[in-house]
Amino acid sequence: MKTASRLSLLKPSPIRAITDGTPPGAIPLGLGEPTWDLPEPARLALLRAPGPCGYVPHAGLTDLRKAVATFHGASVDEVLITTGSQGALFALFQAWVEPGTKVLVPDPGFVAYPALARMAGAEPVPYPLSPDRFRLDADALLKVLAATPDASAVILNLPSNPTGGGGDLDALRRVAEACVARGLLLISDEVYRDLHFGVRPPGLREVTDRGVVVSSVSKGWGAPGLRVGWAIGDPAWLTPARVVHGYAVTGTATPAQWAALALLEHSDAILAEARAAIRGRWEALAEALREHLGQTVSPPDGTFYHFMPLPPSAHVDPLAFALRLRDEAKVVVIPGLAFGEGGRGHLRLSFAATPEQLREGVKRLAPYWRG
């Protein structure tokens, strides 16, 4: 048996390499998912399912599209419902990224972006984030863009997985103007935008309606298992992506769309509760870092990730260091290098875990920083 040659372009995710071997009793600070219960409106919607459970239009359940449109200040025909934001990213890449072209991706950045570019036959080109807080640095991105005449798409992710860094409106505007001027697909991945610590990070639609925003109920609404996401943008960008998504999966599971609709209808309360949950967890983490490592930290712009500097001795082989933390200290964290060379000196610690897990996890990590 021989797999298709395109598969050779995909490397197995280092995140899975760490999490798959998790020993019993280990504290999970690795995976990026909410650990609190699915909010009640979604649970009730799943119980109240009407009789038939049929297909819905490829673009998604009309009421859900309306709710997403209202949330984003868009019109219904600017909304495509997808299987998570990942489904939106896949469909957009397949529809618009020409083989042989290049896609600008943040470094460090979400591991799926380079893989999706390669699956579309393109080459991912990393652009750096600001060196201080890993925020969007328009000058750095535009420099890479200017040196990449064969770029077909640019991906933004504010606030960022894995760094939690955001960006300001002016930086977004400058990047958007450059992409519009060159006719490039600009995708703004805003899945973490509502998980912030005070000020809501800027969104692409505040500066232009000529890019595509992707998001989902997976993070802020606490429902990654529903697999409901969306793309917002000009129907001219979305229609070809809808065709790809339709052939790939037909549509997102209908009951999941009912549940997502119930979540969207209670957005204010659900998102406020999620922010309170991550605020409480952040405080537990910050307190533990102060107590056990003597570190004073400030919260990220958003997300539930703390991008933590590694001890210098771990920079040479961050993956081996993370495996030691997993197998000896029994704490699962992800080496920043998994997200690109720009993350080499850090690790990603997810504070979506419970406060007790965070306190115990940091206590177990402390000897590795001291020694």
Indicate the residue type of 119: M
β-pairing verdict for 331-332 and 27-28? parallel
Q: Least distance from C-beta 85 to ligand PLP, angstroms?
A: 3
Count of Cβ atoms closer than 10 Å to residue 295 Cβ = 14
Task: Select 33 or 327, whichever has its Cβ closest to ligand PLP.
Answer: 33
Q: How far apart are CA 211 and CA 174, in angstroms?
A: 13
Task: Select 39 or 84, whichever has its Cβ closest to ligand PLP.
Answer: 84
Q: Least distance from C-beta 225 to ligand PLP, angstroms?
A: 9
Two tokens, residue 78: 């600017």
For residue 41, say if its preceding peptide bond is cis, omega within 30 degrees of 0: no
Q: Least distance from C-beta 265 to ligand PLP, angstroms?
A: 19
Q: How far apart are CA 237 and CA 80, in angstroms?
A: 10
Q: Least distance from C-beta 157 to ligand PLP, angstroms?
A: 5
Task: Select 85 or 152, whichever has its Cβ closest to ligand PLP.
Answer: 85
> DSSP letter at 76?
G
For ligand PLP, the nearest residue by Cβ is: 84
Q: How far apart are CA 307 and CA 103, in angstroms?
A: 25
Rounded to a whole number of angstroms, the CA Rg of the chain reads 20
Task: Select 205 or 292, whichever has its Cβ closest to ligand PLP.
Answer: 205
Task: Please give the distance of CA 114 from its chain centroid, rounded to a whole number.
Answer: 13
Q: Least distance from C-beta 229 to ligand PLP, angstroms?
A: 4
Q: How far apart are CA 157 and CA 191, in angstroms?
A: 8
CA torsion, ordered 110, 133, 213, 41, to nearest 10 deg: 80
Task: Select 124 or 229, whichever has its Cβ closest to ligand PLP.
Answer: 229
Task: Select 85 or 101, whichever has its Cβ closest to ligand PLP.
Answer: 85
Count of Cβ atoms closer than 10 Å to residue 333 Cβ = 24
Q: Least distance from C-beta 365 to ligand PLP, angstroms?
A: 23
Indicate the residue type of 12: P
Q: How far apart are CA 322 and CA 319, in angstroms?
A: 5
Footprint on this chain of ligand PLP (rule: CB under 6 A): 32, 84-86, 110, 157, 161, 189, 191, 216, 218, 224, 229
Q: Which helix (H) or strand (E) holds 322?
A: helix 318-324
